[in-house]
Amino acid sequence: MINIFRQAGPIAFLGALVAFVFAVMAHEVAHGYAAMRNGDNTAKYSGRMNFNPMNHFDLMGAMMFVIVGIGYAKPVPIDPRNFHNYKKGYFQVSIAGVLTNLVIALISAPLYYLAIKYLPDMLMFDEFIKYILMYSFVLNITLMLFNLIPIYPLDGFRLVELASRPNNKYVRFMRNNAQYTLLGFMAFMWLMPSSLNPFYLLSNLIVGGLESFWGYIILGIPM
């Protein structure tokens, strides 16, 4: 996990904050848009199909971002009963957020290296832009992987639930213990050493791959 307070200075923190807020809002709006495409307008009527940070703010998610380095926005309301096709709609809504984070990461990575190469000195504003782009691809990869974990109420759990038989014991356990499982998992990930943390290692592997690829393509840095 990334602890933003360990980074150098307020510009880095503000850049990370902007990248995080946009990433989680895009994730939730993508869920709402996928639901609309499948017949459910609950998110639209709830005023969540926009990029107003206050409409998506979640206190616990924001605190987790500051303390742990990863967090979440307030989930958009979805009513699967309105889907034209329940399984198709549930799958598309579940996967929409993580795919959006992946796309943002894949766009942000080359933009970051283009900014390094071409962005002129603008009295620290150029550094702010670079931090936004750098954290945009780092945090979006992290959010994508985080949301694929099969723990309620994350997207990974919803995909497992969709593929499971009715009354599955794992699904039932997760739903009955939702108030404990996610916080327990986050505490476990925070306390586990980075060298043994599979989530941290996988995230670093993907981010490192993107850095090496675009660093070589744009800056000519050997991979």
In tens, the pLDDT along 114-148 reads 999 998 888 788 999 999 999 999 999 999 998 99
Return the pLDDT at 222: 73
Where in the sequence is the domain holding 139, given as residue range(s)? Answer: 4-219
Write down the pTM of the prediction: 0.90
Buried b (16+ CB within 10 A) or exposed e, 76-95: bebebeebeeeeebbbbbbb
For residue 15, pLDDT beyond 50: yes
Phi, psi of 119 (to 5 degrees): -75, 125
The number of distinct structural domains making up the chain is 1
- pLDDT tens digit sequence for 34-81: 999 999 999 999 999 999 998 998 887 787 777 777 778 888 999 999
Distance from C-alpha of 62 to C-alpha of 79, rounded to nearest angstrom: 25
The residue with greater pLDDT, 215 or 38, is: 38
